[in-house]
Amino acid sequence: MKRYHGLAAIAAFSLIACKSESTEAASGETAAATGTATASAAPAQATASPVAMTGATPGAKPTRDFMVGKWGEEGDCALAIEFKADGTMVGPFERWNLADGMLKMVGNPQKIALIIVDDKTMESQIGNDPKHKLTRC
């Protein structure tokens, strides 16, 4: 059960999935067809920070939206927990909620403190136990 506490925290930060690059591809095709592509447009898109795109602030408490998705402990997605937007989850418990950076899985007496590292990573901690790294899967 201890293994799942970290996975649950990872799932809390998985709300924002990778965005489709179809818009960028379509823009590139249109520009190439019309011959109006500019050299400065490509670098601006390439340097956009994933953290900025998700609204994730390193060191901040995650929001419910950030949490939605699949999260695995220490990069292991084989046992990832999926946190769904409706408060249900696929994992060791049926429901979850998040308030002020504290993850509570209904049926688990322990609350898990979560902190954003970046758009794909969180740290989780129960009480004074060692911190765990959670990774978006």
C-alpha 5/C-alpha 103 separation (Å) is 10
Checking if the pLDDT of 83 tops 50, the result is yes
Question: How far is C-alpha 131 from the geometric centre of its chain's CA atoms?
Answer: 17
Domains of the chain with CATH codes: 2-16+55-136 (2.40.128), 19-50 (no CATH)
- CA gap 20, 17 in Å, rounded: 9
Q: How far apart are CA 90 and CA 70, in angstroms?
A: 9
Confidence of residue 132 (pLDDT cuts 50, 70, 90): very high
Under the banding of pLDDT at 50, 70 and 90, the label for residue 55 is low
Nearby residues of 100 by Cβ (< 8 Å), 6 or more positions away:
61
Residue 54 pLDDT: 56
Contact by Cβ (8 Å): 133, 125: no
Judge whether residue 94 has pLDDT over 90: yes
Residue 87 tokens read as: 């408060």
134 vs 12: CA distance, rounded Å: 9
* 71, 81 Cβ separation under 8 angstroms: yes
| Segment 6-39, tens digit of pLDDT | 444 333 333 222 333 333 333 344 344 434 333 3
Question: Mean pLDDT over residues 121-127, rounded?
Answer: 96
Mean pLDDT calculated for residue range 65-85: 95
Residues 15/97/62/124 CA torsion (nearest 10 deg): -110
pTM score above 0.85 = no
At residue 120, the pLDDT reads 95
110, pLDDT greater than 50: yes
